[in-house]
Amino acid sequence: MNLTTEQAEELAKEPKTFSWMEMLRVQPPEGYILRKTHSNFHLALFREPNPPLFSTPGRCKIKLPHQIGTVVEMREKFGYVWPDDCEDGRIYDNDHWNGRPITRDEMNVIYYADDPDFIWWSDDTDDNECKMWLSSTQMPKKLIRRHYTVTGLRVCQVGELTPFDVDSMGLLNKKQPEHKYGLDFKIAMDTFKQWFNDRYSKPRPRRKNGEIVSWECWAWDEWAKELNSNRNLTWGTKGILWKRLPLIANINPWICICEGGLQ
């Protein structure tokens, strides 16, 4: 599981239970409804809501991201530093090394996660050449410091999430101004909706035998503005195209809310 900055901050408190959201890798046909979830077999069963008279309703089975008892690795934004000013020369963005985020001047040498034997002496501040922090997706297995065992699974559409669901995942914006009754949940949810679109609406490649054959994206309830205005988006006789290949756009997609216990 690749954590956001907000989630990493939440996990720094080492809660005994933690919830996170993962997209169903395969989405059911449009309009299908959830019939049942088999957590132990990590399957979600969907069916057609209103089949034609005297016909058998359409059904489909979709694998869930995890099953009960699976141990999930929590990856976070990180970096390497030299000389060894901290344990094993590694630092975590969320820890705010020495009580605050470090600067480029403080980190003169950076190890790259994909090639730990290569050292980059960074006198240059060009963002394209010197990366202080590395993405959570690049975190090696040996640097993962928190693991959670899956104890519960719930399948729903992203539009069904409540502020309490979002808060349990550490993604509710609590820094926005409060009104006289406390936290404004509408503003907080609008912020989460924007976060979701920013994170998932950018098309991602789908490959077959190493070759990109199509693209796929997910959005809350409408196209993101950036995607609508992008010149890579075109309309063909067979539907929407992205970079001249089919684009699968999942609106209000099905997700899996996972709950885990600290291992």
Out of 114-118, 127-131, 162-166, 233-237, the most confident range is 162-166
The average pLDDT across 250-255 equals 92
Please name every residue paired with 208 in a beta bridge, in sequence order, or none if there are none.
Answer: 211
If pLDDT is split at 50, 70 and 90, which confidence band does 28 have?
very high
Whether the pLDDT of residue 95 is over 80: the answer is no
**φ and ψ at residue 2, rounded to 5 degrees:** -90, 115
Per-residue confidence (pLDDT) for residue 94, from 0 to 100: 63
Whether the pLDDT of residue 119 is over 70: the answer is no
| pLDDT tens digits, one per residue of 172-221 | 766 655 554 455 677 778 888 888 988 888 889 999 998 999 999 898 87
Per-residue confidence (pLDDT) for residue 240, from 0 to 100: 83
Nearest to 146 by CA among 48, 98, 198, 76: 76
Q: Which one has a higher pLDDT value, 100 or 75?
A: 75
Domains of the chain: which residue ranges?
76-143
Please measure the distance between the N-terminal and C-terminal CA atoms of the chain and give it in whole angstroms: 15
Q: How many helices (H) and strands (E) does the chain have?
A: 4, 16
